[in-house]
A and B are shown apart, each in its own frame.
Chain A
Amino acid sequence: MSPYSIIIASLLIPTLGAVLIWLFGRQKNIRETVTIITSVLLFSNVVQILPAISNGERPELLVLNVAPGLEVAFQVEPLGMLFALIASFLWIINSIYSIGYMRGNREPRQTQFYVAFAVALSATMGIAFSGNLFTLFIFYEVLTLSTYPLVAHHGNAKARTGGRIYLIILLGTSILFFIPAILWTSSLAGTLDFTPGGILSGKADSITTGLLLALFAFGIGKAALMPFHKWLPNAMVAPTPVSALLHAVAVVKAGVFTILKVSIYIFGSEHLLATGASEWLVYLATFSVLAASIIALTKDNLKARLAYSTVSQLGYIVLGAAIATPLALIGAGMHILMHAFGKITLFFVAGAIHTATHKTEISQLNGIGRTMPFTMVAFFIGALSIIGLPPLGGAWSKMYIALGGMDGDYWFVLAALMLSSLLNIAYLMPIVIKAFFLPADSENNNTELAEINDKYDNSLRNRIAEAPWFCVIPLCFTALACFILFFAPNAVEQLLSGMLERPL
């Protein structure tokens, strides 16, 4: 297939999938098969465009011209390529996991769940491949709206509040700051196209650039930069597969992806470095990294702790975008990948624990490593990758960002990153220690086990009581991937360095 038809197909495949899922809403098995086939098709479709991008091609596609200066157009470049690959690949795994989780927890409205998921993926592909800010913005909003039903899925008061906060913050920031930023860019530069080297150099002085950057940084609420991060912990009321794929990968990464994209292709890294306009964002992002880690320490609910951890890790990527040196930008792009695999593993584990034992609080997890050994080993590996220890993927991206910070003479960034890693250890490792080394809380355990006994007839007889295999296999796989990614930084760096090249 030509690159153009691949671009179109990556939007259409999930959309058609959504329609089919809806049509087969009654036949559960066919419905889930459709989801998995759709996700596999999408990934194999996206992969086909990779060789062309690695060779330096940048296929462009103009779909329609809405008004002068407003075009719906697509262009594939390395960063979007990487993002599309991650999202579509993890969708396959997440779909398998969803089957185990949704059936295991007897969730209501499963058809609506799978339909909204497919639409969200279609929007994610649109974001990844968009060729200008206007197109990106359309899909950005579609992503917000299509994931709203997923957040409010349970329909109870808490889910409604979570959904309301989700909509108000994400739509609100995009209306208040993002649209004005796009407007301003358009009136300054006369174009909205993503152009290597940026479109603003020579057209905006350092104060204008700084203000515009602020509008973008706060307008892209999906990046969960403090103080607009509250929607993310509140979105944790959603079923765990949603938290795993959307609120650790697709939605939040769409946010930081957009920030990276704006910093590289709208401002241009050289322009940012020359004007020093992004310096304030370095401080704010560092603050966001540390503050979110400290809040994570205080959370006993496992998913809430992971959510604040995500806020903190997203800060790394914004930090990379703000430092704007080549190494920092590559590190930020790489962190999208590394964090995706690490965090999705942790969320998968949280969901598996919930499915198997209905436990949600960290203080209830004493000794759980003995009944769920695979799950908790995977958690251990994922956590190490988030902390950034070798031999796991997360080590590389943090190193690149730190090196990039030194290039930009931000020495305190180095200290902050080390401190943050220590904080990561402090909030993730106790979970592993409790799971493996503390004795199970016996009184609590008996009633719990009795409950489980009712549900899963023979689980008591086996010492190991894991969640359904549909849950366990995906999380073992993503944990393994964290390990494999440790050996892949060269390939990623080669791909991403293409985004910093300027046409001669």
Chain B
Amino acid sequence: MHLPALQVVIPLIAAALCALFRHYFLAWFITILASWLSFAIAILLLLQVMSRGVISYELGGWVAPIGIEYRIDLLNAFVLLIVSGVGAVIVPYAQKSISQSIEKSQQSWFYSMYLMALTGLLGVSITGDAFNIFVFLEISSLASYVMIAMGPDRRGLTAAYQYLIMGTVGATFIVIGIGLLWAMTGTLNLYDLAQKIPLIENSRPVLAALAFLTVGISLKLALFPLHLWLPNAYAYSPGVASAFLAGTATKVAIYLLLRFFFTVFGGVEFFQSTPLPEILFVLSLLAMFAASIVAVFQSNIKRMLAYSSVAQIGFITLGISYATEIGLTGAIAHMFNHAIMKAGLFLLIGAVMFRLGSVKIEDMAGIGRKMPFTMAGFVILGLSLLGAPGTVGFISKWYLALAALQEGQWWAVALIVAASLVTMLYIGRVVEVAYFREPTVKVDQLREVPSSMLLPSFLLVGAAVYFGLDTSLSV
């Protein structure tokens, strides 16, 4: 079966088609077909991996390690599912939202860029080749810069530029790291590397490669304090792009971190012999607090959610820093859960933007009465974000706290809990404005958004509750 190749090729071809036809509705139609096909393929791949184990696919028939190998195990099958799943959900939503915020003539470019980004992210997740990772990562990053720059706000341009600079620095670090590994081992295949590195793992170039890769990937995943590009990028891009990037881009970078730490560089023991766990641990805690506290003081709700993303990424890397089974379970679960929650939240805020034309918290007075479903969804996802039981947020935080307990770190449990409390503050602030202020004249005229925007959002809300109760998939 050629499913692994199709997973990447379908969105790639679709992107080219969108650019070729340049008709807004046709482009959207192509996009939705490609996204849903990708999602279907990701599901099939996951089922195959679950029943038959690791899939190895040799691209073009060239045998690894000379040719490029696509290799899918449970972890990246899961990441493929997240990425394509978020994509499949947001495209139906995109049509209304995009046709309002972007000119007709430009819309096909947006879809084309979206598909390129999807291609890149799926490619990074599926490939087993280090240089291929770099190429796909750049495809997705370049496409994201364009998407951000297409935002309704002119500040989107500077945000995209900022992201471009930071992202390129990150990419350069990654390619230097990969280059060093290649120089030392003569191979780019991740699994081949995994066999050769343990023999030379304490040599200086290998450690340097690890350092370059860690910093480069950390930039991409917006690990505090390398997160500076993220708030503006999420805040000023079109709603659909924010939702897509928040749900997928950082998650794929986290996958890369896991892959390099635990597959390529010889697993848990080597990881713990380096100072990485401690560094990661401290930075994660800082992210959880600093970013959450900054989020409390934002007036733009999209910026608030963006800072919240930085904080939630801190939770994920905290789990990674423990490098225990429970810790990693928590991290991976939170990767999945945060993708659902944040994509959903950004979609709902996109809906507010669609009607209200503003995402200032102050302007949302009394909006809960005029857009009851949108805001109800926001409340549910917000609860999940702060870890209320019966939602996905609870499950991942439960595992993270258990992991901390296992290490005997009582105070870390206290910190996880305290960070959740800060989450309550910034979510609560929005809820209070939305429900308990008298609607302004402007808000009073609002109607609920069309169901093509509401249904995708509620699919994610539903998923946040469902996977909070049935954790067989994510844990």
A interface with B by C-beta (< 8 Å): 64, 66-67, 70, 72, 134, 137-138, 141-142, 145, 149, 152, 155, 159-160, 163-164, 167-168, 171-172, 175-176, 179-180, 183-184, 186-187
Check if B92 is an interface residue, CB within 8 A of chain A: no
Additional A-B contact list (12), CB under 8 Å, known A67-B399, A145-B383, A163-B436 = A64-B469, A66-B468, A66-B471, A134-B389, A137-B389, A149-B435, A160-B432, A168-B428, A180-B414, A180-B417, A183-B402, A187-B406
The answer on a CB contact under 8 Å between B398 and A160 is no
Instruction: Return B328 CB to nearest CB of chain A, in Å.
Output: 15
Check if B123 is an interface residue, CB within 8 A of chain A: no
The answer on a CB contact under 8 Å between A67 and B475 is yes
The answer on a CB contact under 8 Å between B424 and A175 is yes
Instruction: Return A219 CB to nearest CB of chain B, in Å.
Output: 10
Complex Cα distance, B437 from A159, in Å, reads 11
The answer on a CB contact under 8 Å between B469 and A66 is yes
The answer on a CB contact under 8 Å between B428 and A167 is yes
Top 10 closest pairs, chain A to chain B, by CB = A138-B389, A67-B471, A138-B390, A160-B436, A187-B405, A183-B401, A175-B420, A137-B389, A175-B421, A152-B436
Instruction: Return A218 CB to nearest CB of chain B, in Å.
Output: 13
Interface centre among A167, A172, A180, A184 (most CB of B within 10 A): A180
Complex Cα distance, B405 from A359, in Å, reads 54
The answer on a CB contact under 8 Å between A180 and B424 is no
22 A-B pairs (CB sep. < 8 Å): A64-B470, A66-B470, A67-B398, A141-B388, A142-B390, A149-B435, A152-B436, A155-B436, A160-B436, A163-B436, A167-B428, A171-B424, A175-B387, A175-B424, A176-B417, A176-B418, A180-B414, A180-B417, A183-B402, A183-B405, A183-B413, A187-B402
Also in contact, A184 and B421, with CB within 8 A (given A152-B436, A164-B432):
no
Complex Cα distance, B390 from A138, in Å, reads 6
The answer on a CB contact under 8 Å between B389 and A184 is no
List, in ascending order, chain B residues with CB within 8 A of A171's CB: 424
The answer on a CB contact under 8 Å between A72 and B432 is no
Complex Cα distance, B414 from A137, in Å, reads 18
List, in ascending order, chain B residues with CB within 8 A of A137's CB: 389
Complex Cα distance, B435 from A163, in Å, reads 12
Complex Cα distance, B435 from A142, in Å, reads 18
Check if B386 is an interface residue, CB within 8 A of chain A: yes
List, in ascending order, chain B residues with CB within 8 A of A164's CB: 428, 432
Check if B395 is an interface residue, CB within 8 A of chain A: yes
The answer on a CB contact under 8 Å between B417 and A175 is yes
The answer on a CB contact under 8 Å between B424 and A172 is yes
List, in ascending order, chain B residues with CB within 8 A of A159's CB: 436
List, in ascending order, chain A residues with CB within 8 A of B389's CB: 134, 137-138, 141
Contact of B421 among A155, A176, A183 (CB under 8 A): A176
List, in ascending order, chain A residues with CB within 8 A of B413's CB: 180, 183
B423's nearest neighbour on chain A, judged by CB, is: A175
Contact of A179 among B383, B417, B435, B436 (CB under 8 A): B417
Complex Cα distance, B424 from A121, in Å, reads 25
List, in ascending order, chain B residues with CB within 8 A of A152's CB: 435-436
Interface string of B426-462 (1 = CB under 8 A from A): 0010001001101000000000000000000000000
Complex Cα distance, B471 from A171, in Å, reads 24
Instruction: Return B312 CB to nearest CB of chain A, in Å.
Output: 16
Complex Cα distance, B389 from A72, in Å, reads 11
B379's nearest neighbour on chain A, judged by CB, is: A145
B interface with A by C-beta (< 8 Å): 383, 386-390, 395, 398-399, 401-402, 405-406, 413-414, 417-418, 420-421, 424, 428, 432, 435-436, 438, 468-471, 475
Complex Cα distance, B401 from A30, in Å, reads 48
Complex Cα distance, B433 from A163, in Å, reads 13
B438's nearest neighbour on chain A, judged by CB, is: A155
Complex Cα distance, B469 from A397, in Å, reads 40
Instruction: Return B174 CB to nearest CB of chain A, in Å.
Output: 35
List, in ascending order, chain B residues with CB within 8 A of A155's CB: 436, 438
The answer on a CB contact under 8 Å between B432 and A183 is no
Complex Cα distance, B391 from A137, in Å, reads 13
A144's nearest neighbour on chain B, judged by CB, is: B388
List, in ascending order, chain A residues with CB within 8 A of B395's CB: 66-67, 70
Also in contact, A72 and B469, with CB within 8 A (given A138-B390, A160-B432, A183-B398):
yes
Complex Cα distance, B420 from A138, in Å, reads 16
List, in ascending order, chain B residues with CB within 8 A of A179's CB: 387, 401, 417
B404's nearest neighbour on chain A, judged by CB, is: A183
List, in ascending order, chain A residues with CB within 8 A of B475's CB: 67
Instruction: Return A422 CB to nearest CB of chain B, in Å.
Output: 40
List, in ascending order, chain B residues with CB within 8 A of A138's CB: 389-390
List, in ascending order, chain A residues with CB within 8 A of B424's CB: 168, 171-172, 175
Complex Cα distance, B432 from A313, in Å, reads 32
Complex Cα distance, B386 from A168, in Å, reads 13
B386's nearest neighbour on chain A, judged by CB, is: A175
Instruction: Return A217 CB to nearest CB of chain B, in Å.
Output: 17
Complex Cα distance, B468 from A186, in Å, reads 19
Instruction: Return A300 CB to nearest CB of chain B, in Å.
Output: 28
A140's nearest neighbour on chain B, judged by CB, is: B389
B424's nearest neighbour on chain A, judged by CB, is: A171
Complex Cα distance, B421 from A149, in Å, reads 20
List, in ascending order, chain B residues with CB within 8 A of A149's CB: 435
A142's nearest neighbour on chain B, judged by CB, is: B390
B329's nearest neighbour on chain A, judged by CB, is: A67
Complex Cα distance, B388 from A66, in Å, reads 14
List, in ascending order, chain A residues with CB within 8 A of B386's CB: 175
Complex Cα distance, B406 from A137, in Å, reads 22
Complex Cα distance, B436 from A167, in Å, reads 14
A109's nearest neighbour on chain B, judged by CB, is: B369
Instruction: Return B413 CB to nearest CB of chain A, in Å.
Output: 6
A67's nearest neighbour on chain B, judged by CB, is: B471
Complex Cα distance, B395 from A66, in Å, reads 9
List, in ascending order, chain A residues with CB within 8 A of B417's CB: 175-176, 179-180
The answer on a CB contact under 8 Å between B421 and A172 is yes
Complex Cα distance, B275 from A252, in Å, reads 49
The answer on a CB contact under 8 Å between B436 and A184 is no
List, in ascending order, chain A residues with CB within 8 A of B418's CB: 176
A160's nearest neighbour on chain B, judged by CB, is: B436
List, in ascending order, chain A residues with CB within 8 A of B432's CB: 160, 163-164
Complex Cα distance, B383 from A175, in Å, reads 12
List, in ascending order, chain B residues with CB within 8 A of A142's CB: 390
Interface centre among A66, A141, A172, A186 (most CB of B within 10 A): A66
List, in ascending order, chain A residues with CB within 8 A of B420's CB: 175
Complex Cα distance, B5 from A45, in Å, reads 59
List, in ascending order, chain B residues with CB within 8 A of A160's CB: 432, 436
Also in contact, A184 and B405, with CB within 8 A (given A160-B436, A164-B432, A167-B428):
yes
List, in ascending order, chain A residues with CB within 8 A of B438's CB: 155
Complex Cα distance, B369 from A149, in Å, reads 13
Instruction: Return B440 CB to nearest CB of chain A, in Å.
Output: 15
Complex Cα distance, B417 from A152, in Å, reads 26
